[in-house]
């Protein structure tokens, strides 16, 4: 090759890393795997990862929204993980799983700016979603409404409330979602804005630090709430039908909330007893003090069908969901 032809090629190759950092359109036409550090993919407007396409990144990279309204709809498979170190930054982009989504995996991801992970209200989503070491920083949010599938959140954090809604419709009368929220605690891992879960078939919340104004667990088909630190000002366990707490297990929790509410409709007979086993109640050691300062149930409201049964009140925080002091 002549020197005249070789020189432009050398200049182009030298400029490639800089061009990648400034940004290239996100590749959505065919299967693609990024193995280069510091690539920037641009999302402009509403774009879709089609069902036949798998998009993966194995290195630290950035997915950047071009102006307001940047949305990446995921119908295919999206797998983002910084396998060799660093983080993947999603800035100013809403990621939306859609109907027939093949799967979503986010490891070592940081959502920033006006965006996050959400579903559209009219879309019927039943998919497997895995989030590990994924943070929602500042105004970035997680707000999902799912008809089924599995959602695993492990070692995640959020400044805004995390919301997961189990949905049904005329075609699907019962929700089928299995949800696990695990080990979201520690200096960089707390759910600082709180946690709201509504109508999900099966829920496990374990070893998590919950903050914010309020956390609510509403109408869970099966619930295990274990080893958590609750710093939310108000913690609610709520059911809309009678005799529903029989499927709920609440144990080894450090309650540092201002108000703890257990509620369901009354049955006309004795309220259902709800066992709270080996829990700490912000240094209140006697049941009378706990009821006076924190607990709200059938003992304080005759129209409430749930009555707390405090088993083995703990004299000090257990610390399974983080330090309470």
Residues 103-146: pLDDT tens digits? 999 999 999 999 999 999 878 999 999 999 999 999 999 999 99
DSSP labels for 254-280? EE--SEEEEE----SSSPEEEEEES-E
DSSP reduced 3-state for 203 = strand
Residues 149-166: pLDDT tens digits? 999 999 999 999 999 999
Q: What is the pLDDT of residue 17?
A: 46
State the CB neighbour count (10 A cutoff) for residue 221: 17
* Token output for 100: 């027939």
Q: What is the pLDDT of residue 22?
A: 73
107 and 81 in contact (C-beta within 8 Å)? Answer: yes
Mean of pLDDT values over 295-312: 97
Mean of pLDDT values over 251-261: 97
Cα 116 from Cα 95, distance rounded (Å): 6
State the CB neighbour count (10 A cutoff) for residue 237: 25
pTM over the 0.75 mark: yes
pLDDT beyond 90 at 79: yes
Mean of pLDDT values over 9-31: 66
pLDDT beyond 70 at 35: yes
How long, in residues, is the chain? 325
SS3 sequence, 51-72?
CCCEEEECCCEEEEECCCCCEE
- Name the band, by pLDDT with cuts 50, 70 and 90, for residue 4: low
Cα 44 from Cα 301, distance rounded (Å): 53
63 and 39 in contact (C-beta within 8 Å)? Answer: no
Q: What is the pLDDT of residue 276?
A: 98
Question: Could you state, in order of their start, the residue ranges of all structural domains in the chain?
Answer: 21-118, 119-320
Q: What is the layout of strands, in order, in the sheet containing 94-97? A: 46-49, 71-74, 94-97, 116-118, 141-146, 162-166, 195-198, 214-218, 234-238, 259-263, 295-296
Q: What is the pLDDT of residue 234?
A: 98
User: To which H or E segment does residue 13 belong?
Assistant: helix 3-22
pLDDT beyond 70 at 84: yes
Percent above pLDDT 90 for the chain:
86
Q: What is the pLDDT of residue 302?
A: 92
- Name the band, by pLDDT with cuts 50, 70 and 90, for residue 269: confident
Cα 20 from Cα 85, distance rounded (Å): 19
Mean of pLDDT values over 289-317: 97
Mean of pLDDT values over 168-179: 93
């Amino acid at each position: 090759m002549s020197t005249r032809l070789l020189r432009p090629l050398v200049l182009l190759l030298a400029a490639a890393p800089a061009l990648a950092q400034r940004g290239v359109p996100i590749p959505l036409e065919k299967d693609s795997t990024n193995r280069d550090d510091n690539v920037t993919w641009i999302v402009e407007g509403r774009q879709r990862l089609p069902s036949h396409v798998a998009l993966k990144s194995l290195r630290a990279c950035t997915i950047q929204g071009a102006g307001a309204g940047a949305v990446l709809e995921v119908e295919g498979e999206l797998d983002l993980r910084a396998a060799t170190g660093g983080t993947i930054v999603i800035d100013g982009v809403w990621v939306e799983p859609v109907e027939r989504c093949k799967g979503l995996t986010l490891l070592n991801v940081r959502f920033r700016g006006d965006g996050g992970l959400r579903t559209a209200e009219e879309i019927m989503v039943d998919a497997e979603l895995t989030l590990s070491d994924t943070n929602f920083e500042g105004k970035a949010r997680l707000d999902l409404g799912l008809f089924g599938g599995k959602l695993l959140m492990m070692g995640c954090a959020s400044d805004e409330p995390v919301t997961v809604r189990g949905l049904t419709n005329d075609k699907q009368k019962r929700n089928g979602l299995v949800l696990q929220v695990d080990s979201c605690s520690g200096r960089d891992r707390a759910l600082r804005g709180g946690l709201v879960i509504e109508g999900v078939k099966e829920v496990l919340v374990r070893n998590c630090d919950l903050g914010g104004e309020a956390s609510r667990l509403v109408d869970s088909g099966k619930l295990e709430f274990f080893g958590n630190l609750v710093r939310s000002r108000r913690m609610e366990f709520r059911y809309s039908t009678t005799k529903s707490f029989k499927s709920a297990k609440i144990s080894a929790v450090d309650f540092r909330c201002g108000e703890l509410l257990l509620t369901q409709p009354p049955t006309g007979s004795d309220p259902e007893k709800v066992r709270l086993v080996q829990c700490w109640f912000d240094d209140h050691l006697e049941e009378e003090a706990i009821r006076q300062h924190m607990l709200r149930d059938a003992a304080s409201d005759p129209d409430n069908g749930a009555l707390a049964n405090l088993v083995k009140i703990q004299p000090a925080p257990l610390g399974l969901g983080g330090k309470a002091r």
